[in-house]
Amino acid sequence: MMSYAFQGAQDFMDRAAFLRKDDSKIKALWHQETTRVFALWRGKVAFSPTAAGLVWLPSDHTILAQSTTQIFLGMQGDIALFAADVSGWQPSEDVAAEGGFFDANLQTHPDLPDGAGFADLRGVMTQLSALDADCAATAKALLSWHDSHGYCARCGAASLACDAGWQRQCPACNTPHFPRTDPVVIMLVTRGDSLLLGRSSGWPEGMYSLLAGFVEPGETLESAVRREVWEEAGVRIGAVRYLASQPWPFPASLMLGCIGHATSDEITLDPAELENALWLTRQEVLDVQLGRNPAVKASRKGAIAQGLIEAWLSGKID
């Protein structure tokens, strides 16, 4: 199994799910001296550029007094790990989110260490340790779910967070609600010694990556790969196999990396899905990865697409 940032091939922490329903135990863990918490603000993570990692704080830190939601992430040995949402904090000068692919602003906070601030996870994910990436992906996905699922889908009443942040319960009709994860196939589409790459209109200029799309209800991964490639690029796919996965909490996807062998090569674009798509030989893809192609730029570092492409280039995938 190949390893990527945010990729779950290893257990970086013990999620200790058996503790989530024990409110008294969770409260006791929160107040333990060894407990560590990292904060999120408006979807951004508390990040230290100097330490190149999340900012972990004791649970009695002043910034956490403004927290509205806490999530028990799990245990690392005897240390309890939590995430806390402090989105209610209002900076003295509110910085508007940048448009485009991701927000590069670092929003400082007076109670965070010097130089630290709240950063878009997409901009700092390659700097995180495996544990930090695991925790950040989990917390961001869960808090995004809480933010968009405040009301019961059955009766419309306001729901309440429970199970240490891993569930919501409707007090009116007693319906439980669980976090959702959206499966997405992302595929190395090969034909001989060539690879199919595409780009969406909202991406940075010149950036190309692997094709991807959501798995539909009742669909297998193999069928999703064939359907998505046909719909987006008009290319037919034969054999398909699974390779690796990567949580992608923007907001709650699980990227399922596959390889699909094309049985046709003529491209017919769906302009609603792709701005462009093209076949590149292995040498041409290597040139892109090395920055030697002025017209085509590589996909984002840290994303599973980069890992799959690099593995294909090195001959680990065929």
Indicate if 209 and 304 belong to the same structural domain: yes
Indicate if 51 and 97 belong to the same structural domain: yes
- CATH of residue 204's domain is 3.90.79.10
Indicate if 268 and 279 belong to the same structural domain: yes
pLDDT value for 100? 56
Indicate if 132 and 32 belong to the same structural domain: yes
Q: Is residue 62 part of a domain?
A: yes
Q: Is residue 69 part of a domain?
A: yes
Q: What is the pLDDT of residues 235-248, one digit of tens each?
A: 999 999 999 999 99
Choose the weakest-confidence range: 80-94, 190-204, 225-239: 80-94
Indicate if 30 and 113 belong to the same structural domain: yes
Q: Is residue 1 part of a domain?
A: no
Tokens of 98: 């940048």
DSSP helix/strand/coil, 305: helix
Q: How many domains does the chain have?
A: 3
Among residues 179, 198, 219, the one where a domain terminates is 179
pLDDT value for 9? 43
pLDDT value for 300? 86
pLDDT at 97 over 70: no
Q: What is the pLDDT of residues 12-66, one digit of tens each?
A: 789 999 999 999 999 999 999 999 999 999 999 999 999 999 999 999 999 999 8
Q: Is residue 10 part of a domain?
A: no
Tokens of 20: 């989530």
Indicate if 289 and 167 belong to the same structural domain: no
Distances (CA, A) of 271 to 2, 40, 207, 277: 33, 36, 16, 10
- pTM for this model (two decimals): 0.91
Indicate if 175 and 291 belong to the same structural domain: no
CA distance 303 to 201: 19
Indicate if 106 and 229 belong to the same structural domain: no
DSSP state of 10: S
Tokens of 285: 């893809």
Indicate if 43 and 135 belong to the same structural domain: yes
pLDDT at 253 over 80: yes
Indicate if 69 and 163 belong to the same structural domain: no
Indicate if 26 and 105 belong to the same structural domain: yes
User: What is the domain extent for residue 224?
Assistant: 182-313
Indicate if 22 and 113 belong to the same structural domain: yes
Q: E strands of 58-134, at which residues?
A: 69-76, 79-85, 107-108, 117-119
